[in-house]
Amino acid sequence: MNRKSLITSISSTYLSNEEANLIYKEKPWGIILFKRNIDNVLQLRKLTYNIRKIMNDPKYPILVDEEGGNVSRFSDIIDTKKYSQKHFADIFSNNKKLGKILYQEYLLSICNILKNSGININTIPVLDILQKKTHKIIGNRSFSNKLKIVKYFGKLCTSELKKNKIGSVSKHTPGHGCSNLDTHFNLPVVEKSYKDLLKKDFSAFKNVNSNFTMTAHIIYKDIDPNNCATHSKIVINKIIRKKIGFKGLIISDDISMRALSKNILYNAQKAILSGCNLALHCKGNIKESKYLLKNIRKIDNFTKKKTSEFYNYLR
């Protein structure tokens, strides 16, 4: 499998000739789509078909952030603004059976739309725990302020996506709820003790069994005071791999977010060197995509193996 260790993005609802040539020549591991790439199901189906035709791979990874609530890339196709993760957990708190059934039905509907559109990975569930200081960027994207409820819905989400042959991406590992800043604009430094983080925030990600996980651009001062999780060998190896026990592919959050440096190649390369298997680039800027793909290394044997396992999962 000849792929670069980058998930990149495109600028519009169709592939430009330059984007098509870049994908063909440089072979990113996957493509992530955003609202700018989606008009309707027929257009989207054509776009995903063309991407896979270029890659000569019917299972080629195509991702989307379709969380519902405030994060919906499909809002021109289906209105899910009311259906945040917290919406279903709130129902569950009053009526467990109803909350579970409604969430399962919702996920089934979303999975059917994704499959019909040619998308095979959705970057859910969000497993960040709501806290007093949690920044509004997380807000109702979180299921709850209760660890048990977050874990329950995290497991339910990944199992339902698995049934429907859609890959899951738990995020933002090992926990964004403890941050009071938005990593799109700032680098948060969390002061909580290792013991407290392990007991609550980090625990939310344990035994959830998602195919992939996405890192947080957050410094956990008591663990690694110098590097955010995306760039920390300590956090990735000691916490995500050992304490949480995650065995799948680790994807960085967007390397163009301002929590990281302005040098996107440095951000991508450091993420990979620190233990992320794949770097994520979301801007849809062809010059940046070309720069990254020409300079980032190819995927390693572990990533090849896990990608093959994911393809088997899609059968």
Distance CA 203, CA 174 (A): 8
Distance CA 84, CA 65 (A): 13
Per-residue b or e along 231-254, where b marks 16 or more CB atoms closer than 10 Å to that residue's CB: bbebbbeebbeebbebebbbbbbb
Q: Residue 315 — very low, low, confident or very high, per pLDDT cuts 50/70/90?
A: confident
- pLDDT of 15-66, one tens digit each? 999 999 999 999 999 999 999 999 999 999 999 999 999 999 999 999 999 9
- pLDDT of 262-276, one tens digit each? 899 999 999 999 999
The token pair at 19 is: 């984007």
Best CA proximity match to 114, nearest among 169, 153, 152: 169
End-to-end CA distance of the chain: 18
- pLDDT of 219-248, one tens digit each? 999 999 999 999 999 999 999 999 999 999
Look at strands 66-68 and 71-72 and give their pairing. antiparallel
pLDDT of residue 262: 85
Distance CA 145, CA 129 (A): 5
Contact 183, 135 (CB under 8 A): no
- pLDDT of 121-150, one tens digit each? 999 999 999 999 999 999 999 999 999 999
